[in-house]
Amino acid sequence: MDTKIIIEQSDIAFGTSGARGLVTNFTPDVCAAFSIAFIKSIETKFSFNTVALAIDNRPSSYAIAQACAEGLKQLNVNVIYYGVIPTPALAYKAMLDDIPCIMVTGSHIPFDRNGLKFYRPDGEITKIDEQSILSASVEFITLSQDLTELCESQAARSAYIQRYSELFNSDALAGKKIGIYEHSSAGRDIYKPLFESLGANVISLERSDVFVPIDTESVSDEDREKALNWSKEHSFDAIFSTDGDGDRPLLADEKGHWLSGDTLGLLTSQLLNIEALAVPVSCNTAIEKSNSFKQVTRTKIGSPYVIAEFNELKAHFTRIAGFEANGGYLLGSDIEVNGKRLTALPTRDALLPALLVLAQNKCISNQLLALPNRFVASDRLQSFERSKSIKIINELKHGAEDFLVKLGYEIGYEINVIDGLRITLKNGDIVHLRASGNAPEIRCYTETNSKSKSIILASKILGLVKRKKC
């Protein structure tokens, strides 16, 4: 069989974060084809004889990992399986060992879908690497239905915990009462013992045996209500959670209000004394308005685009980082924190931003008071065909006047088409629509000087889109 042909016929495509598709399309041969093509696409650039592998808690993930491992055996490479761990834990361990890795995860998308994330020994693959994987033509033997059981190692889990337990003093979270919304997060067995080792009083909340597709960029009304109720019941200083594969944080303040991911990223970057940032175009303009950074570069949405800017920033600055509106934090350079060296981890991470903010003496709501008064809301329409999303966005690019009038705005605006359509109005309000790169959905981001206004505006926009009145 030929990897290129199998991949082309699979209906699985690269989005903003890895290859994604329906579980039914991730057949054993498709998984093997992607794994083999990945290794072949990087083997001339790096020297290695081992590949690391891990999964999230989706029902389909283990079988996909088995098929990936079976395919890799045909290349005579060793496979180390780390079980269910966060994506950044796998990436960190693989980078320490100077080997590539594959994470089986669909992140926040529904459980009937899944995905593969690929990492070279030096970090996430690039968009150029994606094309190399898709174009690789390698003959391989079709897999049997009987796939070998995988032997699990705890080494990546231990290394990830050590990265942060050694960065902070053992009393860094002393006196803090923290709830951890565990659901089906891949890191749920890591967070509580780590937080407790730093002195926190931790209460586990709502662990689920069913996969829960938490989207940190578009928090559901149900999860907003849960946080408010948990906060009242337990008097938490904070509530922490992540998306499915543990690379995007979800942090609520002492009142039970979830922070937006870019707000958390901004706080983190200030605490780390970051000099230069790369962030997607959808992030809050409070980043620039804070006057905290020497340079802020805006990119297309997706961690590969953020990471691609790091090389440019490294030429001029020593403390660089990036983050996304979903909260995933990417450390682009080795830096000193608390008098200790923290090595770069150029992939989305949920723990660093949460721990830094939680370790401060000020409560979270007081930390937010120092930020510019700008609020981003995001929402989405699911089961919305990509072609339909693109058609609507293209129509608005050529004339959004009627659409904006329906939203109550006066005519007069500027547009940005780096990723989707971002409209900045005369009064400073921002409307941004884009087709998701990971799932059949259209996403909406709004930014105003009022949290409630941003939320209402996002809902109103998607209402117009749904009724085809834009």
Q: Which residues contact 439 (CB under 8 A, 6 or more apart)?
A: 15, 20, 109, 110, 113, 382
Question: Is 70 part of a structural domain of the chain?
Answer: yes
Of 342, 368, 394, the position where a domain reaches its end is 368
Is there a domain that residue 393 lies in?
yes
Cα distance between the two ends of the chain? 47
Same domain, 183 and 256: yes
Is the domain of 123 the same as that of 204? no
The one-letter code for the residue type at 148 is: T
Pairing of strands 123-124, 177-183: unpaired
Question: Is residue 452, in this structure, part of any structural domain at all?
Answer: yes
CATH number at residue 75: 3.40.120.10
Domain extent, residue 318, equals: 166-368
Q: Are residues 120 and 74 in the same domain?
A: yes
Residue with tokens 């209500």: 225
Q: Provide the pLDDT for residue 469.
A: 60
Interval 24-79: pLDDT, tens: 999 999 999 999 999 999 999 999 999 999 999 999 999 999 999 999 999 999 99
Same domain, 61 and 187: no
Boundary residue ending a domain (107, 125, 153):
153
**Residue at 67 is within a domain:** yes
85 and 183 together in one domain: no
Judgement on whether residues 326 and 248 belong to the same structural domain of the protein: yes
CA distances in angstroms from 292 to 80, 129, 284, 370, listed in the order given: 42, 34, 14, 12
- Strands, E, within 36-109: which ranges? 50-55, 78-84, 101-104
CA separation for the pair 354, 375 (Å, rounded): 19
Give tens-digit pLDDT for 370-399. 999 999 988 889 888 888 999 999 989 888
Q: How many domains does the chain fold into? A: 3
Does 56 map to a domain? Answer: yes
Instruction: Report yes or no on 161 lying in a domain.
Output: no
Domain with 423 in it: what CATH number? 3.30.310.50
Q: DSSP string of 252-313? A: E-TTSPBPPHHHHHHHHHHHTT-SEEEEETTS-THHHHTT--SEEEEE-SSHHHHHHHHHHH
Kindly state whether residues 182 and 134 are assigned to the same domain. no
Active-site positions read 107
- Give a yes or no: residue 158 inside a domain: no
Any idea what DSSP says for residue 333? Answer: S
Residue 146 shares a structural domain with residue 295? no
Burial category of 44 from C-beta neighbours within 10 Å (exposed 0-12, middle 13-18, buried 19 and up)? exposed
- Do 408 and 381 fall into the same domain? yes
- Domain match, 357 and 397 both: no
Among residues 368, 396, 429, the one where a domain terminates is: 368
Task: For residue 159, tell me if it sits in a domain.
Answer: no
Q: 332 and 225 in one domain?
A: yes
Q: Are residue 175 and residue 237 in the same domain, yes or no?
A: yes
Give pLDDT tens digits along the chain (470 positions): 999 999 999 999 998 778 999 999 999 999 999 999 999 999 999 999 999 999 999 999 999 999 999 999 999 999 999 999 999 999 999 999 999 999 999 988 888 999 999 999 999 998 899 999 999 999 989 998 889 999 999 999 999 999 999 999 999 999 999 999 999 999 999 999 999 999 999 999 999 999 888 889 888 899 999 999 999 999 999 999 999 999 999 999 999 999 999 999 999 999 999 999 999 999 999 999 999 999 999 999 989 999 999 999 999 999 999 999 999 999 999 999 989 999 999 999 999 999 999 999 999 999 999 999 999 988 889 888 888 999 999 989 888 888 999 998 887 899 999 999 999 999 999 999 999 876 788 999 999 999 899 999 999 999 998 887 66
